[in-house]
Structure 1
Amino acid sequence: MDGTVLIADDDRTIRTVLTQALTRAGCRVHATGSLAQLSKWVEEGRGDLVITDVMMPDGNGIDRIPAIREARPDLPVIVISAQNTIVTAIRATEAEAFEYLPKPFDLPDLMAKANQALSRRPRRSDPAPEPITISRDAADPAMPLIGHAPAMQSLFRMAARVLNADLPVLIAGEPGVGKTTIARSFHDLSERRDRGIAVLTSADAGEEAVMRAVDKARGGTILIENPAGFDQAAQARLIGMIEAMESGPDRAMAPRVVATTGPDPQADVAAGRLRSDLYYRLAGVTVTVPPLRARVDDILPLATHLLARAAAQGLPERMLSDEAAALLRAHPFPGNVRELENMMRRLALTASSPVITEPEMRETLSQQGAGRAVPIAATSAAPVSGAVEAPQPMVMPAAHARLSDSVEAHLQRYFDLHGDALPPPGLYDRILREIERPLLQVALDATGGNQLRCADLLGINRNTLRKKLTELNIEVTRRRKLM
């Protein structure tokens, strides 16, 4: 490796480690804890590569990149930062940084990127990348968009690259990982953010609702929650909607389509839950959100963020003891980030002192294991990454859990999906249909498809049962023969 590297970081240890590693690799190194000194070196014509931190005592490293590019257009800049959020990744991409690496970074990885930057010979014929515009004053989004883990950083980079593309985006992942929050970030951080965003779920996917969504999201974004949960007629309407937007006379103002789905949408296609022609229309770019157990190093930063957010919403200020933090980090989190959010809000309410103790954490973890459902408060942002696959039926976490608790939590998440707006009119009938369908299906299965026995079990007239099966489009299988 050959060249002069300029390092700007206020952490003396990082400056020392990088200086030693780059010097051993054959580079000449100038290191400083000041952006002003870095700018002076650049203006003097020094350096073949810049490595800079973001948060510095005298400014922001990303904000300094445009001035560096103006003075030295061919000087590559590698950004390193402990601000491990999607906004940092997007802003680094916007500023045309050569690379962005989160702290604590992998030294061999950084050395490889430095070697690539020093070896790169810029060509005048290279097209300039499309700028990504994001408000300088935009606040960081909700906590699932914090992530140091390689899988999350890969997600952030992908989001930065396609943020303003016209391609549809399919966001896949387990329930609770924050898919809806990430889906909303594709709107909130993009050039479309001043336009409307409309949410379509299986509970409000009628023809009129689809038309209203297209009108509301004109030039903005349509978010489709869990399309595999839509019935076949609704999926056909979605296909028609997408085709009309792509080929209609108003296609220049067509909304972008972003959809959330389970961890394996192709399995949904194979099982017949998701139409293949709809899947291929949605999967222009597929982004997979990792479960929390695959990003263990993010658990404590997320927990700290959640406790701070709870305090900002009026709950007592709390922090984790070392022992409580160790227990939390070892938890498998089957409910992903949504489970972590529920736990932190519960601990903020129930802890006996500002420092959450090991016994308090152990008690909360044991209650989570027992399956006690804790609804996410209405003040919460759109829940994390599986975000809300509303109105996907709720799974009862334990035999003693009340159905009303699960329904309440489910409805709250459904309202949260719509942000400051209300869901479309007709909510009462839609929700009753959502509850009625699984009730009839489970009762039919329990009675072997015998509708007379099923009607008796439900306490309704057999003709009423027949009518409801027709209205709800419940197919009659060989086990469910009409009497």
Structure 2
Amino acid sequence: MDGTVLIADDDRTIRTVLTQALTRAGCRVHATGSLAQLSKWVEEGRGDLVITDVMMPDGNGIDRIPAIREARPDLPVIVISAQNTIVTAIRATEAEAFEYLPKPFDLPDLMNKAGRALSRRPRKSDPAPDAVAAPRDSADPAMPLIGHAPAMQALFRMVARVLNADLPVLIAGEPGVGKSTIARSFHELSDRRDLGLAVLTSADASEQAISAAAEKARGGTIVIENPAGFDAAAQARLIGLIEALESGPNRASAPRIVATAGPDPQADVAAGRLRSDLYYRLAGVMVAVPPLRARIDDILPLARHLLARAASQGLPERDLADDAAALLRAHPFPGNVRELENMMRRLALTAGGPVITGAELREVLSQQGVSRAPAMIPGSTAPGETAGPAASARPGIGASLSESVEAHLQRYFDLHGEGLPPPGLYERILHEVERPLLQVSLDATGGNQLRCADLLGINRNTLRKKLTELNIEVTRRRKLM
């Protein structure tokens, strides 16, 4: 790898790590914690690649990209950000960033992308942006579109790529994952946002309602909620609507069609619930929304985001105790993000103090009838529990650790019925085992990393590396040295 890289990040540790890695790879590096200094270097003609954070003390890294492209059209920019939202991904794409990576990023992945950016030939045809897009500082408040998990980042990139395309979009996923919110984001974050938005559901799919929706959404967007739930006559009317929009005299002002569906719309076609000719008219672009159980690392950030939003709406301010956080991560969330949102609002109202305890969360889970306790020592009971039917479902006294793990894995497979869990199970399970092992060991050693590393039989540098990789939250008791 050859070239000069300009790094702008207010985190000294990230600047140091990137500088060392890029220098070892053969690059020359200039690093700063200031966007003003970065702009000065760019204007002086320095650098073959820029790597910049978004939120900086003196501005927003994405907002600087148009000026960088105007001054140096061939200078690629890689954006890194801890703001793992759909809006960040869309804004980075609109600003024509070479790549966008969420924090904490995978260093080999970033190095690979930096290598590609440095090796590409200058493209003189790269257009300078005609105008700076209006800032979009937040997504639809109905349900937070945030997530660091690879599945969500892939979704954000897909939405950003097709946001302003004229193709119809079909958004598939389980109930409660946020399909309707994403459908609306295709309108509210796109160039059509100042035009009409209409929503069609099976409850009102008469010919008059469909005609009214087409008129209301002229030039804007029509969202069709679960067309497989429409009766045959209504599906035929939808086909007629789409054909009229595509070939009618007003096709220049035709609204975009965005539809939502269950996790497997082709199964709806096979079962006769969804007409195949309607499916193919809707599925210009397929967007799959992952269930919450496939993005476990997003659960706690989402929960805290929802608690903060509840507080902004007048409910008491709350946070999560460590045992409550562990329970949330272990819960299967059959209702996905909607279930999590309802749970956090309820706890914001009913918790006895500013910190939600594991016992309070366990009570809410038990009332919902879908409680799932985290893995425990075989034969033990959770605090506040007595042995009973729920306890008997766990491995009994004398069961080995292997038997306990097998029982929990079998339950995880059973949750998916006749289907299989999402791909990547091996790494996901190892990740799930490693995190609590480190957390419990740190607690047992009072947060002393030297003693913890000795207990685990690994060196201290390895422990620190794993704490960073697993994004284990730093507290006063558990502090990175």
TM-score, normalising length: structure 2: 0.75
Within 2, Cα distance between the matches of 1:370 and 1:186? Answer: 33
Within 1, Cα distance between the matches of 2:79 and 2:131? Answer: 17
Q: Which residue of 1 aligns with 2:361?
A: 361
Secondary structure at 1:78 match in 2: strand
Greater mean deviation of Cα atoms: 101-110 or 134-143: 134-143
Q: Which residue of 1 aligns with 2:177?
A: 177
Cα distance, 1:169–1:36 mapped onto 2, change above 3 Å: same
Whether the aligned pair in 2 keeps the contact of 1:132 and 1:163 (CA below 8 Å) is no
2:139 aligned with 1:140, yes or no?
yes
Q: How many Å apart are 1:347 and its aligned residue?
A: 0.3
Cα distance, 1:229–1:129 mapped onto 2, change above 3 Å: farther
Secondary structure at 1:174 match in 2: coil
Q: Which residue of 1 aligns with 2:301?
A: 301
Within 1, Cα distance between the matches of 2:10 and 2:158? Answer: 29
Pairing of 1:143-292 with structure 2 (within 5 A)? 143-292=143-292
Q: How many Å apart are 1:99 and its aligned residue?
A: 0.3
Cα distance, 1:69–1:130 mapped onto 2, change above 3 Å: closer
Secondary structure at 1:177 match in 2: coil
Secondary structure at 2:122 match in 1: coil
Within 1, Cα distance between the matches of 2:131 and 2:285? Answer: 17
Whether the aligned pair in 1 keeps the contact of 2:66 and 2:129 (CA below 8 Å) is no
Cα distance, 1:147–1:133 mapped onto 2, change above 3 Å: farther
Within 1, Cα distance between the matches of 2:313 and 2:278? Answer: 40
Q: Which residue of 1 aligns with 2:66?
A: 66
Pairing of 1:114-129 with structure 2 (within 5 A)? 114-125=114-125, 128=127
Within 2, Cα distance between the matches of 1:363 and 1:171? Answer: 34
Within 2, Cα distance between the matches of 1:133 and 1:122? Answer: 23
CA deviations over 1:236-264 (Å, ceiling 9, x no partner): 00000000011111111111000000010
Q: Which residue of 2 aligns with 1:17?
A: 17
Whether the aligned pair in 2 keeps the contact of 1:94 and 1:131 (CA below 8 Å) is no
Whether the aligned pair in 2 keeps the contact of 1:177 and 1:292 (CA below 8 Å) is yes
CA deviations over 1:87-139 (Å, ceiling 9, x no partner): 1011101111000000011111101100000000023356x499897531543
Within 2, Cα distance between the matches of 1:144 and 1:309? Answer: 10
Pairing of 1:371-410 with structure 2 (within 5 A)? none
Q: Which residue of 2 aligns with 1:101?
A: 101
CA deviations over 1:2-45 (Å, ceiling 9, x no partner): 11111100111111111111111111111111111111111111
Greater mean deviation of Cα atoms: 130-139 or 263-272: 130-139
Secondary structure at 1:114 match in 2: helix
Whether the aligned pair in 1 keeps the contact of 2:319 and 2:355 (CA below 8 Å) is yes
CA deviations over 1:441-463 (Å, ceiling 9, x no partner): xxxxxxxxxxxxxxxxxxxxxxx
Q: Which residue of 1 aligns with 2:401?
A: none
Whether the aligned pair in 1 keeps the contact of 2:69 and 2:128 (CA below 8 Å) is no
Cα distance, 1:335–1:137 mapped onto 2, change above 3 Å: closer
2:340 aligned with 1:340, yes or no?
yes
Secondary structure at 2:223 match in 1: strand
Runs of 4 or more, structure 1, over 3 Å off, are 128-134
Secondary structure at 1:307 match in 2: helix
Gaps of 5+ in 1: 372-483
Cα distance, 1:133–1:147 mapped onto 2, change above 3 Å: farther
Q: How many Å apart are 1:368 and its aligned residue?
A: 2.5
Within 2, Cα distance between the matches of 1:130 and 1:261? Answer: 36
Within 1, Cα distance between the matches of 2:297 and 2:22? Answer: 27
Identity between Structure 1 and Structure 2 (%): 85
Q: Which residue of 1 aligns with 2:47?
A: 47
Residue identity in the other structure for 1:166: D
Within 2, Cα distance between the matches of 1:101 and 1:138? Answer: 18
Residue identity in the other structure for 1:304: R
Whether the aligned pair in 2 keeps the contact of 1:321 and 1:358 (CA below 8 Å) is yes
Whether the aligned pair in 1 keeps the contact of 2:167 and 2:256 (CA below 8 Å) is yes
Gaps of 5+ in 2: 372-481
Secondary structure at 2:369 match in 1: helix
TM-score, normalising length: structure 1: 0.75
Within 1, Cα distance between the matches of 2:177 and 2:273? Answer: 21
Q: Which residue of 2 aligns with 1:469?
A: none
Cα distance, 1:181–1:366 mapped onto 2, change above 3 Å: same
Q: How many Å apart are 1:70 and its aligned residue?
A: 1.2
Whether the aligned pair in 1 keeps the contact of 2:70 and 2:128 (CA below 8 Å) is no
Residue identity in the other structure for 1:135: A
Q: How many Å apart are 1:369 and its aligned residue?
A: 2.7
Q: Which residue of 1 aligns with 2:33?
A: 33
Whether the aligned pair in 2 keeps the contact of 1:201 and 1:224 (CA below 8 Å) is yes
Residue identity in the other structure for 1:308: A
Q: How many pairs align?
A: 370
Secondary structure at 1:145 match in 2: coil
Within 2, Cα distance between the matches of 1:29 and 1:331? Answer: 45
Residue identity in the other structure for 2:192: R
Q: How many Å apart are 1:309 and its aligned residue?
A: 1.1
Residue identity in the other structure for 1:140: A
Within 2, Cα distance between the matches of 1:131 and 1:87? Answer: 21
Residue identity in the other structure for 2:251: R
Residue identity in the other structure for 1:346: R
Cα distance, 1:202–1:129 mapped onto 2, change above 3 Å: farther
Whether the aligned pair in 1 keeps the contact of 2:178 and 2:338 (CA below 8 Å) is yes
Higher relative contact order (CA 8 A, sep 6+): 1
Q: How many Å apart are 1:140 and its aligned residue?
A: 2.9
Q: Provide the aligned C-alpha RMSD in A.
A: 1.6
Within 2, Cα distance between the matches of 1:288 and 1:129? Answer: 32
Whether the aligned pair in 2 keeps the contact of 1:90 and 1:132 (CA below 8 Å) is no
Pairing of 1:320-339 with structure 2 (within 5 A)? 320-339=320-339
Within 1, Cα distance between the matches of 2:18 and 2:370? Answer: 48
Whether the aligned pair in 1 keeps the contact of 2:4 and 2:49 (CA below 8 Å) is yes
Residue identity in the other structure for 2:257: V
CA deviations over 1:249-292 (Å, ceiling 9, x no partner): 11111110000000101111111111010000000000000000
Within 2, Cα distance between the matches of 1:119 and 1:224? Answer: 44
Cα distance, 1:105–1:362 mapped onto 2, change above 3 Å: same
2:2 aligned with 1:2, yes or no?
yes
